[in-house]
Each structure stands twice: as C-alpha cells, then as structure tokens.
Structure 1
Amino acid sequence: MNEKALRILEYPKIIDMLTGYASSPMGKELCRNLMPSSDISEILQGQMETSDALTRVMKKGSLSFSGIRDIRGSLLRLKVGSTVGMAELLNIAATLDVALRAKSYGRREADAEDQDSLEGLFAQIEPLSNLNHEIRRCIIDEETMADDASPTLKSIRRQIKLTNERIHSQLASMVSSQNIGSKLQDNLVTMRNGRYCLPVKAEYRSQVQGMIHDQSSTGSTLFIEPMAVVKLNNDLRELGSKEKEEIEHILDTLSELAGESAVMLEQDIAVLTRLDFIFAKASLSRTYNGSEPVFNENGYIHIKKGRHPLLDKKKVVPIDLILGKDYRMLIVTGPNTGGKTVSLKTVGLFTLMGQAGLHIPAFDHSELAIFDDVFADIGDEQSIEQSLSTFSSHMTNIVRILNAADAKTLVLFDELCAGTDPTEGAALAIAILKTLLNRHVTTMATTHYSELKVFALTTDQVCNACCEFDVATLSPTYRLLIGIPGKSNAFAISGKLGLPAHIIEEAKKNIDVQEQNFEELIADLETSRATIEKEQEELSAYKAQVESLKKRLEEKHDNIAKQKERILNEANEKAQNILQDAKDYADHTIRTMNKLSKSGGVDMKALEQERSRVRDKLNQSNNRKKAAPTVQKAKVYAASDFKQGDSVHVRSLDLKGTVVSQPNSKGELSIQMGILKSRIHFSDLEPIDEEVISTPMINKTGSGKIKMNKAAHVNTSINLIGETVDEAMIDLDKYLDDAYLAHIPNVTIIHGRGTGALRKAVHEKLRKSKYVKSYRLGTFGEGETGVTIVEFK
C-alpha cells in the first residue's frame, strides 16, 4: 500500500491505538509494523485470530502480557555458552511467569467446542517451571544472591558474619578502653578500602600500632587499622573473594541450565509476542464494538451501519454503503460539512483495516473487497499539507493515480478537479472518471458539480449518492443515501440565514433553466424519499400489530381446541360413571327382589322400601338434569338490527368490532376490528351491549361512569408522524385516556426521529400524566429512537 494513502486515510492513528493495547516491547513492535496485505489467506488468518481472541476475552476475561522482557540478546549469549547476570536471569524468569499465566489461560474445558486458531499457539508455550523456580530460588533481586543458592555460599556467608562480629567486638573493646579511647577523634568504627579502621588523632600516631589506610582532608585524623584486627580483616577480604567466586559459579550453573532451554525460550518469546499482538487487536475491536468483515475478490463492498473509528462513537452517525456490485463507481454530492469526506474516508480506512486483519466498527456480515492498492486524493486541510492544496498539486497526485490504477485498486477522490474553472473542472472530472470506469476501477468520488450528477444518472455502472441535509434546521443528518443525487441547498440556506428574497430571486434568474429544473427534480426525489420512509415506518408498525394479533388468534384457537377436548373427555368419563352407577344399582335391586321372592313369603313392606329407593334415585338424576345449564340456541338477527357505530361480536373470529358501514345488497357490513377492517355477513354478527365502567381517575359522581364502547377497541399504538406538535398533543391526550380505560398495559407512540421536537413534546406530556407508570425509547427491533414505549400504572 502506498504511504500517501495510508497517511491521508489516517491509518497510522489506528496503528497508534493498536500499539497502546500491547504490553511487551516486541508486541508493540509487531503492532507498529502492521501493514495491510493483499494475500487473502493471510487476511483471513489475521481476521480469524482476532475473532478467536475476542471470543476468549468475552468468555474468560483479558489476558495480561505485562512482564514479558526482551531477552533475545541474553538468549544469543546463552547459545554460545556465555554467562549472564542476575538481572538477565530475572528477566527470563519474568517472561516464564507470563508463559505460565498464558498456558493456564489457554487451557480449554473438557466440554469445550472445536479448537480455534489460537489453540496451536497456546500449545507451543513451555513454562519451564523448573528453570523458573531455580532462578527465583537463587536470586532475590538484580544485585542480591540468596544465601540458600548453594551450601558453599551459605557457609561462606556464615563465616563472613562471624568474622565481622569478631572484628566489631575487638574494635569495640579498643574504643571503650581508656588507653585507646582517649586517642580517637570519634568513638566509632569506620571502613577504609574495605577494611575496618579507627579514627586516631594525628598526634597519637606512634601510640596506636597498626596500618594507616587514609587521613582526613585537614590531616588531623588518621584512619588506622589496628594490628589486632589485621588478620581478621585479611580473613574477611579472603572470604569476600570466595563469596564472589561462588556467586559466579552459581551464575554459571544457572546460565548453563538456561542455555539448555534456549531454543524453547526463543519459542516462548516468539509465541508470547504473537499472542500479545493478537490480543491487542482483540482489545482494539472491543473498544469500538468491531466485527469481522466478509471478504471477496471481485471488488464488492457492502458496509452495514459503519462508524468511523476515530470519531466519538456516541455521536457518529452510521452509514450504509454498497459499491462494486450493480455499479462500479459512486458519485457523492451534497452541501459542505454534510459528511461526504467522512463517508469517503470510512470506506478507505475500513479497507485498510480489514486487509490488516483488524475488525471494523460495523454490523456483522459487512463485506469488503481485497485490493492490491488503495489510492486517495482528499483535499481537506486536516490531511493534506497547505503546500499541496492547489489545483496543480492535486492534479499531480491524480496523474500518479491514473498511471497505477487498475481493476484491483480502490480509488477515492474528494472534490475531484475542484479549485479551477467550474466548466473545465467538471469536463475534466468526467473524463477522468470515464477512464477509470473503462479500466473497471472501483471508484468513489465527492463533488459539487451538477454535471457529475447527470453523468451518474446517464452512465451505466455509475450511481449517485448524497449526504442528507435538513433544510428546516440548516444542519446535516450525516446519513448517506444511495441512488439519490444531493442538492447544494445554497438558496435555501441563504434564505434561512436572512438573505433578502429579491437577491435570491435575482440569483435564480442567472441559473440555466435546465439546471434549475434538474435541481427541482432532485428536491422532488428527496421529498418522495422522505414520504416513502415515513410510509415504510407506518407499514412496519402495522405489520408488527398484525403479527401480534395473528399470534393471539392462533393461541386462542389452540386454547379453544384444548378446552373442547378436555370437556369431551370429562363428559365421556362422567357418562361412563353414571352408566356404571346405574348398572350397579340395578344389579343390587334385582338381587334383592330375587332374594325376597325365594324366601317363600313376599314381604310387601320390604318390596315397597326397595321401590322407594329406586324412585328416589331416579328423582336425584332428574334433578341433576334440570340443574345442568342448557345450551341456548344462537339468536338470529336481521341486517337492520345493526347500525353504524354499534359494537358487535364476530362469531367466526371470536373478536369484538365496530360497525363502520351500512349493509350492502348481500347483507355484508364493514367491521373494524383493531387495525383490521373486513366485510362480514350480518348472520355472523351479534350485538354487544356497551359496558358501563367507572374509574378512580374520574370523580365518583354520575359523570364518573362512562361508556366503554370505543376504549374496548383501542389500538396498541398511535402514529403521530406528519402532525404538528399541537395536533399530536390533542390526539395523544385522547389516545392515552382510551388506552388506559381499555386496561392496555403497554402502548407504543410512533413519533419518528426528525428534529426531535415531537419526541420532546410527547415525553413532556407523558411525564405529567397521572396514570403513566414509565416510558422509554424503543430498542433495536422496536423502532429505536423513532418510538416511545409507555407502561400504565
């Protein structure tokens, strides 16, 4: 990739962000050297590693690589048998600590899914716990060897300690003695040249036997090593040499042990560096909620809700862009500060980031093409030096681009051929774009020239786009609209800012009639687009309501079928019980009669009692039949029984509705059932008496009772789009009353996004309402900021 395009598209700033997430010097070095690739296998491998690292971070938390040291120089010396110092050995131990931590992090659970692309890297890590433990056991810090590093060192240090104690004891007795103590400058023991001495006054030199090692700057004090401790000092010096030799021996042993593992240490440092780099990419993706793009090699770009990663993610407006499938070239027009350059840079930067193995801040399954090179000529002062802002310097860059561009390159132009005569500039821009189009170069350009809008409308493989601008508020929306040319809006903006109308009218006279008609056509297209978007929002809301109603009907039918089956089963079971009871009682009666007959003499009293029991049993059965509810036959109504505005029950659908028309010649009436309206024959209808209800929100007088006719059929949403604030507040107030009386728990208010004035008024109304429990903006799938969800008390 050429350096100029990388700088213009601000790729180095992304690399700086990435480098900040790496922990080790080598990992930061890999980040700084990351460049976009055109090898698809290398790109896909980099993307897969970033995605797998991000998945692990989401599941198990972040993996820290702090502690990795650059031990590559030490490893080179160890390989040739050299001895390294304590600081270098501690650096090896610190790196092995990270290796052990990474090895533990990389272990997968027994029930884990298939291996990911990082499994092999984690498997290559060798923590070398024995070496690490030995270094930590022997070395305390960069200047201190532990006493237990070896038995010999421990013995030497014990002797040094005993010798020091004997020297201090001997000198302390001399200092405290009357004979020597009075001849000392200070009653203390000091060291000179590594030997213990006493500060003796110069005039007593001959009275203190010993070796002079130093004197004070004035010459009044001599530092004498008494003869009584000379041998002890010599012993101490000899023990110090032995200690140093033993430390060198221990370092030799540790270096030899580390040298045996030099190859594995090299592998560890390489793998840990690679993992540090990969997890830095994952951390960067996490900051801007990135996703792995899909790649192709046919020049097709489809960005879904893309956000420029260097802009504030709370304020940036996502863009949707398609390029390279039905058209190879995109011409973006519109007013200044409308987001054209940001859209251009977003496409270029996403391409560079994707081909470098980095995730892009866009929705899942956004698609990018793989290009051999990216060229950009973007003329804003933020990215191009002032000395290069002339037409000639831009043309020099364009010539360089034309010499190198082919079907495997992406070319981005900002304000193509601006800065010169508009007529010549537009003609030159069209010629350049035609040249690139003939070479099948994927191109995106921004412009103010109307001629380029016409060129896009009349040329195959070229498409118009614009950045939306709200003339009412004189502010851009930063939305990129594909297929519609942009309007400069110079007259509208000037009028809003106070330019007199007669000046604007005079300016319009100076515009070619054909060009003015073209601008008016663009304005009509924008109006039609806004209307279509509004209707699509309404259709989406209606579709959601229909789906909800359909689901409720299906659930109701399922419940009816289940209840029917249950009632039939219970009836069959009850009938079986009744039959069995009757059979048992009849058998008992027959047996009793036979018994009385066989007894020889007929006991009339006993027979009469048995007859009475049978009669009582029959009476009980008859009483149960009378008590059982009888199914009344449905009453048949005439067409004249139904009047416009009456509440009715639709038998076949088991729904309530309202009559909205008189019956036709076939006896069919139009019935409004929620959001559905259908023609129903009068034979399928029956009137419903309006319920009279009372509510605590209304006073408890006679006026507190109201008819529940319309409230019973209130829709679960209201659409206020297209209404003024005053109109909307009147409709909303009535709708909230009806919805609350209908006992609807939640309703949706559709107010659209627009300028936000209608949404603000709706929220103010809801805040003051006595029977609104809570309200919130919609989430993804509910309409987002275009709707408000209300919950009643």
Structure 2
Amino acid sequence: MNKKVLATLEYDAVKAQLRPYLSTAAGENELRNLLPTADANEMQAWLAETSDAAKVLRWQGGINIPKLANVKPHMQRLRIDAALSGTELAQVGRVLFTTGQMRMFFENLIEDRGEPLAALRPYYSRLVVMQDLTRRVNTAIDGDGRVTDEASPELHRVRQAITSTENAIRQKMQDYTRGKSAQYLSDPIVTIRSDRYVIPVKAEYRSRFGGVVHDQSQTGQTLYIEPADVVDMNNRLREHYIKERHEEERVLAELSDMLRPEAENIQKNAEVLGHLDFVNAKARYAAATKAQEPEYSPENHVRLLQARHPLLDPQKAVANDIIIGEDYKAIIVTGPNTGGKTITLKTLGLLQLMAQSGLFIPTAEYSTVGLFKEVFADIGDEQSIEQSLSTFSSHMVNIVDILKQIDADSLVLFDELGAGTDPQEGAALAMSILDAVGAKGSYTVATTHYPELKVYGYNRVDTINASMEFDVDTLRPTYKFLLGIPGRSNALEISKRLGLDQSIIDAAASLTSEDSQELNDMIADLVERRNAVLAQQVQLAQQVIENRQMKNDYEQKLEKMETEKARTLEEAKKEANHIVADSRKKADKIIADLRKMQLDGVAVKENKLMDAKGALNAMRQEPSAENNRVLRKAKQAKSQDIAAGDTVLVREYGQQGTVKRKLKDGKFEVQMGILKMVLAEDEIEKQAAAQTAKSEQKAAAKPRVSTNKAVNRANASATLDLRGQRYEAAMGELDQFIDRALLNNLPSVEIIHGKGTGAIRQGVQEYLRSHRAVKDFSFTGPDQGATYAELG
C-alpha cells in the first residue's frame, strides 16, 4: 500500500489509538510494522484472530499479558557465549513464566468453553513451556534483577556471614556513639566511607581512636575514622563482599549457560506472546470503539452500514451508509462546503484500510468490505511553494501519478475533482478523468461543486449521484450522506433566510437558467420523498418489532399449553392401555380356551365371543405424537438451501420476500416490499419448498382408495350388508364381522353399504383405514356401493 494514502487518511493515528492497549515490546513492534494486506486469505486470517481475541475478552476479560521487555538482544548475546546480567535474566524469567501461564490459560479456557479458538490455536500451541528452567531462573533472580539468597548454598552462607559481621561492627561502633567516647565525636552517628564503617571524630581528638582516617569534612574540623578495634572486622566484611560478588557472577554465568540451548525457543515464545498481546489490543480497541467484525466480499461489494470515522468523537459523529461495488462502481458526491463530503470520503478509505489490517471497523453489524491492492486519494490542499505549484497544478501532478497506477483492484478517492481552475474547463476535465478511471475498472468516489457532474452521475453506467444533506431551516449541514440524490444549490434559499431583499433574490433567480431551477426542484422533491419513506420505514419497523414480540409471547403460551395437553393425553392413554392390556390377556386366554372347546366339538355361541373381543378392541387407543405440537414441528423441519435471489415465504407475516444476501451467522437479509429484515433460516421458507410441503400434506390427507373397478369379487368369501341400518348399529356390526372374518382366516371380505347420504360409507372407510389387520381396500360394485377389503 502506498505510503501517501496512509498519511492522507491518517492511518498512523488509528495505530496510535491501539498503543495504550499493548504491554509487550514485541507487540509494540508488530503494531509499528502493521500495514494493510493485499492478500484475501491473510486479511481473513487476521480478522479471525481478532474475532477469537474478542471472544476471550467477553469470556475472561481478555488475554492478560504482563509488561515484557524485548529479549531478542539478550538471546543474541547468549549466542556469542556472553553472560546475562541480573536485569536481563529477570526479563527473560518473566517471558518464561508468562509462557507457561498463557499455555495453561488457553488450555483451560478451551476445555471449559469447548471452543477451539481455531485462529489463535497455531500461536498458543507453539509456546514451548520449560518448567524446570523457568523455576530455576525465577528462584535465583527476583523481579528487579537481584540474585536471591536461594540462588546457591554458598551465596546463602556468604550473605549470612555478611549479615553477622555487619551486626558485630554496628554493635562495636554504637559503643563509641553512646559511651564516654561520644564527647569526642562531631555527631553521635555511624556512617560509611569507602565501603567501610567509620565515625565522625573531632580533629583534635584523632589520637584517641587510632585506626585509619578515610575522609574529612570540608572545614577539616571532622575526621571520618575507622577505629583500630573494627579494622579487622571491616577487613573480614570486605572479604565477604568479594566472595558474594564472585558467587553472584558464577550464578549469572551458570543461568546463562542453562538458557543458551533454549535461546531460539525463548525468542520464538517472546514473539508469540507479542502477537497474542497485539491481537488482544485489537480486540480491546474494537470493544472501546464499539467496532464490529466486517464480512469479506470476494466480489468487492463494499457495504458499510452506519459507518463512523474512527478518529471522531463517537457521541458526535454522524453515522452513514456507504455502499459501492454491487450496483455501481462510481459515486459523485455534491453538497455545500463543511457539509461532511471529505470526512465521508476519508471514512470509506480508512475503514477499508483498517479491515485489510485485521481491525474491526466502527460500523453496524453485517457490514461488508472488499479487498483492494491499492487505495489512492487526492484529498486536501496540495499547494507546494517549494515546487512553485498552484493548488490546481499540484492536484494534477497527483492525479497523473494515480492514473498511471490504477487497475480494476484499486479504490480511488477524489476530493473537489477539477477545482482550482475555470469552472467550465474544470467540470469537463473532471468528467474526462472519471471516464479514464472507469475505463480501468477502478472503484471511484469523487466530491465536486460542479453542477455538470450531477448530470454525469445520472447518465453514466455504473455511476450514482450522492450528496450531503443541508438543513435550510437551521442553515446548518446535517452531515447525512444521501445516496442516489444529487446535492442542490441552496444559495438563494439561504440568502432569503438571512434577510437579503426579495427583489435581489428574484433578480438572481431570473438570471439562473431554467434547467438549473428544474434540477434544484427535482432534487428538493427527491429529498422530501426520501424523508417520507424513511419516516414510514421507521414506523413500520417499530410495528414489526412489536408484532413479533406479541406473536412470540402468544406462541410460547400456546406451545406450553399444547405440550401440557399432549403430555396429559399421552399419560391418560398409557394408563388406559395398561388396563386394557390386562383385560385383554385374560380375554385372550378365555377365547383360546373357547376355540379349543369348539375344535373339540363343544358347541360355543360365536357371536358372544366376537362381541367380547370387539368391545376390548374398541377400548384401546394408540398414542400419537401428532398431538404434541413441539414434536410435530420438529418432524416437519427440513433443511433448506437458500441463496441470494431466492423468493421465500416469511412465516411470521405470511408474505413473500426476496433474499438479498446471506449473512455470516446463518441469517438472511430479506427485502419485503420497502422493508429490509434480518431473519433466521427457520423464520423463512423457500416458496417452492412451501408448495411441495402443502402438496404432500394434501396427498397424505386423502384416503388410500383405489378406484379400479375391475376388482376380482370372486375372491370375497364373506359379505356384510349394512344397507338400511342406523350408523351406530352398522359400525358395531361391522366390528363384529371383521373379528369373525379374522378368526376364520378369511383372506378378504365385502361390505355392502350403498350410496345414500354417504354416512355409513364414510364410516366403513374410516374403520378399515384405522384397523391394523386390513391390508388394503377399494370401492367395488357397478355403482361403487360396496367396499372390498383384503385382510392379513
């Protein structure tokens, strides 16, 4: 990415906002070297890392890495066999300790959450934990780089000797400050000169203490004397100090030798920790700015919803929708000065650069970004005194350079294109430049004051007009970006509200071309209509939300009631079936005994036997899951393959809509009239799928009746005539007849029911359909007045 656009769009200012969230030198170095990528896979990987870090921020408050210094120079010193100082070892020790903590943190987090954090896994899984080395270094060196007493037994012994000797010296010296000798001292204190304990003695009493004079005051009135009684003790103390220093140097050399074989792993650990610190900073920055993860569009469809400039106060910045690439590749923005055109231009460019750097962007959810190999910008006053260039000339030099480099993968931002010269020539030049950029296939957004470009934006393919709204009532810009509406001239209206004489305004209006007046009137009408549609859309959206909430409440209540009803019914049926089953066992035994008697020649009245069995069969009810609304809903659920452009049925409203695009979390953006809604997959149904489902339901509801009249009635060996009977009596007789036929192993039967009103005919059909022993049945007879049934 060219450095000029990074400076123009203040890319480094955004990076500066991330710096306070970093705690490691390696993370700061990664931020310092951060640049937008032109590789789609790399951009998506960076965004995925930020997304995983944002999850950790929500779950655990972030990846908490302490302050870590740059240990790369220390590892280089180890490679040349140098020994590290205590401070350097302390810094390495913090890296070793943090490595173990981070590895344990991620392993525990993944185990608890059950989510692998796939984007961060390649980093934390590379951390090499060196437990013994970590324990040794952090035991021997404290956080300030001081070698601890536990570093070695010898060091511990020497330091104990130092402490003992110092105490003995202090005790002896205090005898001089508190006894009769105190009168010979300038001050009754013990101090140190040349690393030896001394007392301040008045010069005239020097001979009373003997020993060695180490210093004197500026006036010469006080001598700092080491008394003869403590010279030997100070000498021993000095020896202990030398032994301590030698032992400390030995410990430092030993620890350096232990670290040397792991220098490469330690440096890589530090780099991984720096990267984790960096992605954590990106996640914290996103949370602080309320930024969202953008979706990547391989087709370069940029769709920034409610976009805000990241360097403006979020409480004051006006959010706008900026859309380019899907229906048009060039936007011509017109409007008054200080209306926000330049900020809108910079917002588009900067947010695109942020996304290509793996940063979340301050937009609404479901915003999309493309990928541009280069972003070019001609923004601001380019006047150069050193090169003796005017503003226009300097802009032209920049534009010439841009035109040489652009291609179909470029985004070009022009601010006040063609300004700084004759308006007529400037407008013509601006249109020619836009044509040249369009011929290369680049994406373009240009701001201008020239009215000719409004017509250009209307007539050119892949081009759309836009403007910044201006409130003529308050005489202030609203900073709202209006796509599809060119900016109108407000000079006469503003002058009128500021009190300019009406005659002057009328005279100016008469000098204005008729085409210009018509254009302004058309723009004013467009703005008015747009505002009306927006107001209606807001009202409808609010109504949709209220209706949806009400519907959800009713559905929950209904579902709960039906679930309870189904549960109660199932329990009742199970209990009834249990009772029937017990009775049936007893009845089956009786029937078996009676049949045996019958076969043995004993006369048994078969009608009584059939009556009993028919009554028992009528008592049993089969449980049905269809009464449970939840199970029925789950049974009917089908996976749907929904794509952009499909016509779907929005179940909640019973209205059809068109899928505009599929969103990242399995939801869809559906256009239903003037409303755009984000809906889950289970809230919509493809139209074709809905029709198929209805057809299947209708087919399932039809009785399985064959209309084939060529039925072989010769197979029927039993016939029941129900004509002329009442419905209840006919159904009872039919039940007994079927049971008798089954006991006699009849393969088929024929039931004559006639046509009549159809009540008995329908009852026969329903009975045969629900009986488990009926394999198939069909109408028969010349007038369809009978039903033939196969048993088995």
Within 5 Å, give how 1:739-754 maps onto structure 2. none
Structure-2 change in CA distance of 1:387 and 1:444 (3 Å): farther
Structure-2 change in CA distance of 1:336 and 1:568 (3 Å): same
Distance, in Å, in 2 between the alignment partners of 1:416 and 1:173 is 92
Is this contact kept in 2: 1:16–1:32, CA < 8 A? no
Is this contact kept in 1: 2:485–2:526, CA < 8 A? yes
Q: Could you tell me which amino acid in structure 1 is paired with residue 103 of structure 2?
A: K
1:786 aligns to what?
none
Within 5 Å, give how 1:648-659 maps onto structure 2. none
Deviations 1:404-461 (A, max 9, x none): 2221211111111112221111111111111111111111111121111111111212
Q: Structure 1 unaligned runs (5+)? A: 573-779, 782-793
Q: Could you tell me which amino acid in structure 2 is paired with residue 420 of structure 1?
A: T
Secondary structure of the residue that 2:312 maps to in structure 1? coil
Identity of aligned residues (%): 41
Q: Could you tell me which amino acid in structure 1 is paired with residue 248 of structure 2?
A: I
Deviations 1:537-559 (A, max 9, x none): 55556767887898899999999
Query: Residue 256 of structure 1: CA displacement?
Result: 2.2
Deviations 1:98-138 (A, max 9, x none): 33442333221255124421122122224534334333433
- 1:151 aligns to 2:157 (yes or no): no
Deviations 1:618-640 (A, max 9, x none): xxxxxxxxxxxxxxxxxxxxxxx
Secondary structure of the residue that 1:434 maps to in structure 2? helix
Structure-2 change in CA distance of 1:424 and 1:151 (3 Å): same
Distance, in Å, in 2 between the alignment partners of 1:251 and 1:439 is 65
Distance, in Å, in 2 between the alignment partners of 1:157 and 1:241 is 11
Secondary structure of the residue that 1:446 maps to in structure 2? strand
- 1:135 aligns to 2:142 (yes or no): no
Query: Residue 463 of structure 1: CA displacement?
Result: 1.2
Structure-2 change in CA distance of 1:43 and 1:384 (3 Å): farther
Distance, in Å, in 2 between the alignment partners of 1:110 and 1:458 is 60
1:103 aligns to what?
103
Structure-2 change in CA distance of 1:230 and 1:6 (3 Å): closer
Structure-2 change in CA distance of 1:313 and 1:74 (3 Å): same
2:91 aligns to what?
91
1:24 aligns to what?
24
1:65 aligns to what?
65
Is this contact kept in 1: 2:87–2:146, CA < 8 A? no
Query: Residue 493 of structure 1: CA displacement?
Result: 1.8
Query: Residue 54 of structure 1: CA displacement?
Result: 0.8
Deviations 1:231-289 (A, max 9, x none): 33333322222122112222222222233432222122111111111111111111222
Structure-2 change in CA distance of 1:176 and 1:17 (3 Å): closer
Within 5 Å, give how 1:208-287 maps onto structure 2. 209-219=210-220, 222-287=223-288
Say which is worse superposed, 377-386 or 208-217, in terms of deviation: 377-386
1:760 aligns to what?
none
Distance, in Å, in 2 between the alignment partners of 1:382 and 1:533 is 42
Is this contact kept in 2: 1:67–1:95, CA < 8 A? no
Within 5 Å, give how 1:299-318 maps onto structure 2. 299-318=300-319
Distance, in Å, in 1 between the alignment partners of 2:564 and 2:222 is 116
Distance, in Å, in 2 between the alignment partners of 1:66 and 1:6 is 31
Q: Could you tell me which amino acid in structure 2 is paired with residue 499 of structure 1?
A: L
2:400 aligns to what?
399
Query: Residue 512 of structure 1: CA displacement?
Result: 1.7
Deviations 1:346-393 (A, max 9, x none): 111111111111111112332222111111112369999999872222
Structure-2 change in CA distance of 1:392 and 1:259 (3 Å): same
Q: Structure 2 unaligned runs (5+)? A: 574-677, 680-792
Distance, in Å, in 1 between the alignment partners of 2:184 and 2:424 is 108
Query: Residue 17 of structure 1: CA displacement?
Result: 0.6
Structure-2 change in CA distance of 1:289 and 1:191 (3 Å): closer
Distance, in Å, in 1 between the alignment partners of 2:169 and 2:560 is 103
Structure-2 change in CA distance of 1:222 and 1:440 (3 Å): closer
Distance, in Å, in 2 between the alignment partners of 1:500 and 1:547 is 55
Structure-2 change in CA distance of 1:405 and 1:112 (3 Å): same
Q: Could you tell me which amino acid in structure 2 is paired with residue 82 of structure 1?
A: A
1:608 aligns to what?
none
Structure-2 change in CA distance of 1:538 and 1:118 (3 Å): closer
2:445 aligns to what?
444
Structure-2 change in CA distance of 1:169 and 1:17 (3 Å): closer
Distance, in Å, in 1 between the alignment partners of 2:333 and 2:175 is 97
Is this contact kept in 2: 1:329–1:442, CA < 8 A? yes
Distance, in Å, in 1 between the alignment partners of 2:506 and 2:528 is 22
Distance, in Å, in 1 between the alignment partners of 2:556 and 2:198 is 103
Secondary structure of the residue that 1:370 maps to in structure 2? coil
Structure-2 change in CA distance of 1:552 and 1:210 (3 Å): closer
Query: Residue 207 of structure 1: CA displacement?
Result: 6.6
1:373 aligns to what?
374
Distance, in Å, in 2 between the alignment partners of 1:451 and 1:31 is 45
Q: Could you tell me which amino acid in structure 2 is paired with residue 492 of structure 1?
A: E
Query: Residue 55 of structure 1: CA displacement?
Result: 1.3
Is this contact kept in 1: 2:384–2:394, CA < 8 A? no
Query: Residue 530 of structure 1: CA displacement?
Result: 3.2
- 1:112 aligns to 2:146 (yes or no): no
Distance, in Å, in 2 between the alignment partners of 1:184 and 1:41 is 81
Secondary structure of the residue that 2:454 maps to in structure 1? helix
Deviations 1:311-337 (A, max 9, x none): 222232221222122222111122233
Structure-2 change in CA distance of 1:389 and 1:18 (3 Å): farther
2:163 aligned to which of 161, 164, 169: 161
Distance, in Å, in 2 between the alignment partners of 1:478 and 1:229 is 85
Structure-2 change in CA distance of 1:510 and 1:79 (3 Å): same
Structure-2 change in CA distance of 1:48 and 1:188 (3 Å): closer
Is this contact kept in 1: 2:63–2:276, CA < 8 A? no
Query: Residue 226 of structure 1: CA displacement?
Result: 4.6
1:78 aligns to what?
78
Secondary structure of the residue that 1:478 maps to in structure 2? strand
Say which is worse superposed, 326-335 or 531-540, in terms of deviation: 531-540
Distance, in Å, in 1 between the alignment partners of 2:15 and 2:464 is 33
1:455 aligns to what?
456
Is this contact kept in 2: 1:339–1:478, CA < 8 A? yes
Distance, in Å, in 2 between the alignment partners of 1:328 and 1:369 is 12
Structure-2 change in CA distance of 1:289 and 1:227 (3 Å): closer
Q: CA RMSD in A?
A: 4.1
Distance, in Å, in 2 between the alignment partners of 1:171 and 1:266 is 52
Q: Could you tell me which amino acid in structure 2 is paired with residue 463 of structure 1?
A: I
Query: Residue 467 of structure 1: CA displacement?
Result: 2.1
Distance, in Å, in 2 between the alignment partners of 1:307 and 1:291 is 12
Is this contact kept in 2: 1:299–1:442, CA < 8 A? no
Distance, in Å, in 2 between the alignment partners of 1:62 and 1:385 is 50
1:695 aligns to what?
none
- 1:46 aligns to 2:46 (yes or no): yes
Q: TM-score, normalised by structure 1?
A: 0.65
2:697 aligns to what?
none
Structure-2 change in CA distance of 1:440 and 1:144 (3 Å): closer
Distance, in Å, in 2 between the alignment partners of 1:430 and 1:33 is 39
Q: Could you tell me which amino acid in structure 2 is paired with residue 124 of structure 1?
A: R
Is this contact kept in 1: 2:38–2:372, CA < 8 A? yes
Q: Could you tell me which amino acid in structure 1 is paired with residue 410 of structure 2?
A: T
Is this contact kept in 1: 2:469–2:487, CA < 8 A? yes
Query: Residue 184 of structure 1: CA displacement?
Result: 6.0
- 1:362 aligns to 2:363 (yes or no): yes
Is this contact kept in 1: 2:186–2:202, CA < 8 A? yes
Structure-2 change in CA distance of 1:159 and 1:493 (3 Å): same
